[in-house]
Every structure is written in C-alpha cells, then in structure tokens.
Structure 1
Amino acid sequence: MSRPMDFRATTDHPVDAVYAAMSDRAILADRLERMGGPGAGILEYASDEQGCRYRIRHGIDEKDLPGVVKTFVGGGGITVERDETWRKAGDGYDGTVRVALPGMPAGADGTMRLEPAGAGTSFHVHCDITVRVPLIGGKIEETVAEQIKRLLAMETDYTLTRL
C-alpha cells in the first residue's frame, strides 16, 4: 500500500520566472550545498528549450531522522536520490518526480505542476510514498510524507528568495 502526499505553494512571481529558478543548475547546486545534507549533489543534469531533467542526491544524518525512521534504518543516516523532469505544458510546466532510497524498501513517485495563478504561480506536488515493511510501513510512510512536505517548503522558500 502507498500513502498519498500533496504539497502546494503560491508566489507572486510569474510562472516562467519560477520555472527558470527551479531549473537553474547553479541555484540547484547552491540549494543542495546549503540544505542537502551529507554527500548531497547533482548526479545528472540536462536542460534545453523543451524542459529539463536532473537527478540529485540528499543525505540525512541519523541524528536528523525521526524516531520511527531511525528504528527502521538502524545505525547511520540515509541517502535519498531524486529524479525530476520538467516540460512546458500550455501556460505552465508539468513534471514528474521519482524518489529512491538506495538499499531500502522505500520510495515515492509523483507529478508536479507549475501554473499561473493570477499574476503569480501555483506549485503543486503529488506523490505516492511506499514503504514495504510489514507492520510499521504505514507509520514510516506517514512520517516520510511529513518530512517531504517540510523539505519541499524549505526548498521552495530558498528558490523563491533567489528570484
């Protein structure tokens, strides 16, 4: 079973400016350096006039993990790899996201949308989070969903400050 997670944010900045900031390699690299954790970085990056695709790595130190996740991973932190793809779609941008935790029976798949909202932009992410662990998988999915929302809020705030 999986757990759905939705994140929404709005800004007064126009949709093309938000997309440009979100897909800018230098901003992405700086964001990962500041908040990506141990071993964070850009693993792959490609961009053209049609859109962009990148794969990034986050590291989360054991001390920063919620209690229920610590019991699941044992000693040490975790590595999170995230693939994102963005494409122009009408007056906005559509994206996909895939999250993997190498060596762990957990991950997430989802969609993203940047679209005009008045003179500004609405950003929406929908993910289905799956943790394949008997008995406690649902609790871990719930905790991971909250952590993803927190991370998305921090990343969005950081990116918007760069505009």
Structure 2
Amino acid sequence: MSRRLLHELTYDAPAADVAAMLADPEFRKEVCAAQRVTRSEVSVQRDGDHLEVVVDQWQHTAGVPSFAKKFVGEETNVIQAESWATPLLGDIVVTLPGKPGDIRGTARITESDGVTTETVDLTIKVGIPLIGGKLEELLRDLMTKALEAENTAGRAYLSR
C-alpha cells in the first residue's frame, strides 16, 4: 500500500522568482525555522540549470501518536533531497534514516497571470504489516503541515 500527497503552494510572484527562492539556501533555512526543526543543515549545488538541494533536519516528535512513537523516538532525522533538472521541474526524495518508509515524487512550477503554483506530488510508502497504513497517514499529515509552513515562509520571503 501507499498514500499519495498532492499539495499546491501558491505565490503572487513570477515563476522565475519562485525558482530562485527555492535555490536560495537562506530561504531553506527560513523554512526550517518555520517548521520548528531543532537543527538543520542546508546544501545547494548548481550546475547550469541543474540544481541539487539537500535539507538535513532534526525534528521533535512531540504529539506523534503512541503507535508511532516507538518507531520515531523523541526526535527524528528527516533528509529532503531535491534534484531539479530544470528550474521548473524537480524530483523529491524524503528519507528518515534508520526508519521504515519511502517518500518520493516531484515538484512542478507553473505560472498563470502572475501567480505561480508549485505542485508537489508525493507517494508515501511504509512497508510494515498492520500499522504501515497508519504510519503513511501520519507521514502524509506531517508532510502537509511542513508544506504549509514552507508556503507561508515563501510568501513572506517573496514579499520582501
């Protein structure tokens, strides 16, 4: 089984500005702060139009349901790796080192009438019998909240 997460982040800015924002390590650090991570490291590497972004972060697991707590502990490491083949299309892989689960998908940036939409389409898969589906739902909820925090941080960033 797996769960799909399809989420749109909208910005009142041109696509080129949104792409530049996503390539800015300072923006990625602002997103980590908005997501209330305990510590993080951001790496951004560019080669022409190709962009590699890695956000290695640690998050508290306060509020995580008891059935999941034994898998994630008090704090968990989340590594988000993005590979942007073009400024408008990227692959996303999110891993939780040492934990079960696989999150992968794409981010696509489109612009219409000065409004840019980043569409994130992820598949979340946890291969644990009996509770895998519950963990997938939990990860989908946590990823949705993380994307909402990123969208809020992005709107603030672009308004400066």
TM-score, normalization: structure 1? 0.87
Deviation at 1:69, TM superposition (A): 2.4
State the number of aligned residues. 158
Question: 44-53 vs 97-106, which deviates more?
Answer: 44-53
**2: CA distance, partners of 1:13 / 1:82:** 24
CA contact (8 A) 1:94 1:111 kept: yes
CA contact (8 A) 1:109 1:128 kept: yes
**Residue in structure 1 matching 2:78, options 72, 77, 80:** 80
Aligned partner of 2:91 in structure 1 is 96
Aligned partner of 2:108 in structure 1 is 113
User: Which consecutive residues of structure 2, in runs of 5 or more, have no partner in the other structure?
Assistant: none
**2: CA distance, partners of 1:22 / 1:84:** 10
Aligned residues: percent identity? Answer: 27
**1: CA distance, partners of 2:50 / 2:156:** 22
User: Which consecutive residues of structure 1, in runs of 5 or more, have no partner in the other structure?
Assistant: none
Deviation at 1:79, TM superposition (A): 0.7
1:1-163 maps to which residues of 2 (within 5 A)?
1-35=1-35, 37-42=37-42, 44-73=43-72, 75-88=73-86, 93-163=88-158
CA contact (8 A) 2:92 2:105 kept: yes
Deviation at 1:64, TM superposition (A): 4.3
Deviation at 1:71, TM superposition (A): 4.0
CA contact (8 A) 2:11 2:154 kept: no
CA contact (8 A) 1:5 1:126 kept: yes
Question: 113-122 vs 134-143, which deviates more?
Answer: 113-122
RMSD: 1.8
Q: Supply the AA of the counterpart residue of 1:78.
A: T
CA contact (8 A) 1:33 1:41 kept: no
